[in-house]
Amino acid sequence: MKLPADFLRQDLHATRRSFLNTAASGLGGLALGSLLSQEGLLAAPAAGTDPLLPRQPHFPAKAKNCIFIFMAGAPSHLDLFDPKPKLNELHGQSLPESMTKNVRFAFIKKETAKLLGTKRVFKKYGQCGMDFSDLLPHLATRADDLLMVRSLHSDQFNHHPGQLLMQCGRGSFGLPTMGSWLTYGLGSESRNLPGYVVLNSGRGSSGGTTLWQSGFLPSTYAGVLFREQGDPVLNLANPAGLPPELQRAGLDTLRQVNQARYDLMRDPEIASRIASYELAYRMQMAAPELIDLSGESKATLEAYGVNRADPPNGGRGKQGETAQSFSRNCLLARRMVERGVRFVNIIYASWDHHSNLDKELTYNATVVDQPIAALIKDLKERGLHDETMVVWGSEFGRTPLGENRGGNENATGRDHHPFSFTMLMSGGGLKGGQVYGQTDEIGWGIEDKPVHINDLHATMLRCFGLDHLRLTHRFQGRDFRLTDVGGKVVEDWLA
């Protein structure tokens, strides 16, 4: 019987290395056997049918993988990264009307709003002297690896549109997300895991599944959610009572009958379907191995805090054992990157601290601080840091004004703030140990080097060797790109 030559050859060529790596770690025996035994039959050249085959970027680049840690809900830059002594000094005072006149707020009542200083204590860390508040002691130890951008700004000040802008480059529906664009541009190195994976800790975000949609790109480029309960990937496990040997036997039957159809109809989509079943089968073995942390050393598990106790005072950021879940997701992200997954999006909501800022921010920061620091350190120790871009960020920042919703005088939180916020990045060809951009003395507007989210995306793509102007997809007569109609590469960030 002849093989559907269209796919397997490509499949094997492109992935021999990672595939054998997987096999070497004791996996995929059957699938490997079934593929390799047929390799000799692969003769006729044909067009590739796997849209996720790795592709060359526009120009050489360091970054290969991205771990995007999305802090949905908007953390306060003023209490974490951007110390403003002047704000503390002016605590309790109103802003001049000229400053707020043309500004829209989600909840703040302008007439009576007062500036809210921070209770946090800031210190400088690393050789570069990067500021962190007392809430992030672990991340602070990575100061010299980190690029801290204090001058991000957004166009959206409501959560869902803001989150879409951060993920898709524009606050609209129906567009591909960052991970879609990256896998669309570069394919994926992994032949037995999805190229674009989503991990979620805590409660659901405002954007829900729209944050990993593929928009007008095929669903091949949509994020695949790895779950904490049940199968790591939806529908991964065979139906109860169906053993692996019958799964293989069934898939062999299926392959042969589908192939007979292919031989007759010559439709490459059939070959593609056969390939997708083989990948599904490999995923059935690779995904459980991926999430099995039993091979990780005690030191690693401890470093990430996989078994730590949940911090007190959860508030809206807590759902279940949030800290353990987040630690685990950071560790899983490293394991995914090791296995060739192109884009990992770790989502953690909610940082929407309209009230109770001090307690809830403390909780959230404690949840994320240790594991992210551990992740960066771990990536470095494993030599993965240069090829892995880690990004920490959200849809916008929070106001220097205290939130006085409904005229409440006792402000304990901050409102949505699109005019300036901070993000952290590391690795992947970025120049760490630098603080970029500057906000004004109360952390309201940007004084130096503003960076629009489109610029952030343009620069991220550049690190992956992609020209944001050339990575396009024609849809409804328009050449769409991740950077919408904007985007300027920030050269200063590049190592």
Q: What angle do CA 336, 338, 339 make, to 5 degrees?
A: 65
359-388 residues near another protein, rule: CB under 8 A: 359, 363
Nearer to another protein by Cβ, of 261 and 308: the residue is 261
Distances (CA, A) of 198 to 91, 246, 264, 425: 40, 30, 39, 19
Q: What are phi and psi of 398, to 5 degrees?
A: -130, 155
Q: Give first-to-last CA distance, the chain, whole Å.
A: 53
Measured from the CB atom, is 132 or 480 closer to another protein?
Answer: 480
The owner of tokens 């996720």 is 52
Among 16, 104, 124, 382, binds another protein (CB under 8 A): 104
Give the interface size with another protein as a residue count (CB under 8 A). Answer: 96
Choose between 219 and 307: whose C-beta lies nearer to another protein.
Answer: 219
| Binder among 5, 30, 88, 174 for another protein (CB under 8 A) | 174
Q: Which of residues 113-152 bind another protein (CB under 8 A)?
A: none
Site for another protein contains 355 (CB under 8 A): yes
Cβ closest to another protein, residue 54 vs residue 314: 314
Among 100, 141, 300, 319, indicate the residue that binds another protein (CB under 8 A).
Answer: 319
Residue closer to another protein by CB (options 97, 245) is: 245
CB nearer to another protein: give 207 or 429: 207
Please state the φ and ψ torsions of residue 275, each to the nearest 5 degrees: -60, -40
What three-state secondary structure class fits 142?
coil
Contacting another protein (CB under 8 A), which of 297, 299, 476, 491? Answer: 476
Judge contact between 277 and 212, C-beta under 8 A. Answer: no
Q: Which two tokens stand for residue 443?
A: 């952390």
Angle, alpha carbons 219-180-396 (nearest 5°): 125
Query: How many Å apart are CA 110 and CA 95, to the nearest integer?
Result: 9
> Residue from 94, 158, 438, 472 that binds another protein (CB under 8 A)?
158
What single letter denotes the amino acid at residue 125? Y
Candidate list 105, 351, 444, 493; residue touching another protein; CB under 8 A = 105
d(CA 330, CA 327): 5
Q: Which of 272, 300, 434, 438 binds another protein (CB under 8 A)?
A: 272
- 310 contacts 321 by C-beta, under 8 angstroms: yes
What's the burial of 309, exposed, middle or buried (CB within 10 Å: 0-12/13-18/19+)?
exposed
Q: Considering the complex, what minimum distance in angstroms separates the CB of residue 231 from another protein?
A: 8
Contact 404, 113 (CB under 8 A): yes
Judged by CB under 8 A, which stretch of 83-91, 121-129, 131-139, 274-282 contacts another protein?
274-282
Burial 24-48 (b: 16+ CB within 10 A, else e): eeebbebbbebbeeeeeebeeeeeb
Site for another protein, residues 455 to 474, rule: CB under 8 A: 474
Span 407-436, contacts to another protein by CB under 8 A: 415-416
Q: Binding segment for another protein among 19-27, 54-62, 312-320, 448-456 (CB under 8 A)?
A: 312-320
Residues 33-52 that bind another protein (CB under 8 A): 49, 51
- When the beta carbons of 53 and 375 are compared against another protein, the nearer one is 53
Cβ-based nearer residue to another protein, 288 or 433: 288
**Taking CB under 8 A as the rule, does residue 107 contact another protein?**
yes
Decide whether 92 or 173 has the Cβ nearer to another protein: 173
Map the footprint of another protein across residues 247-266, applying CB under 8 A.
247, 249-251, 253-254, 256-258, 260-261, 264-266
d(CA 102, CA 119): 29
Residue with smaller CB distance to another protein, 237 or 384:
237
Indicate which single residue of 28, 57, 176, 314 sits in contact with another protein (rule: CB under 8 A). 314
- Give start and end residues of each alpha helix (H) in 266-405: 268-291, 298-304, 322-338, 357-381
Cβ contacts of residue 299 below 8 Å, gap of 6+? Answer: none
214-243: contacts with another protein (CB under 8 A): 216-220, 222, 224-225, 227-230, 233-243
Q: Which is nearer to another protein, 114 or 227 (CB)?
A: 227
Taking the complex as a whole, the smallest distance from the CB of residue 102 to another protein amounts, in Å, to: 9
56 binds another protein (CB under 8 A): no
Listed in sequence order, the residues at least 6 apart from 342 whose beta carbon sits closer than 8 Å to its beta carbon are: 64, 65, 66, 179, 182, 183, 186, 187, 188, 189, 190, 195, 196
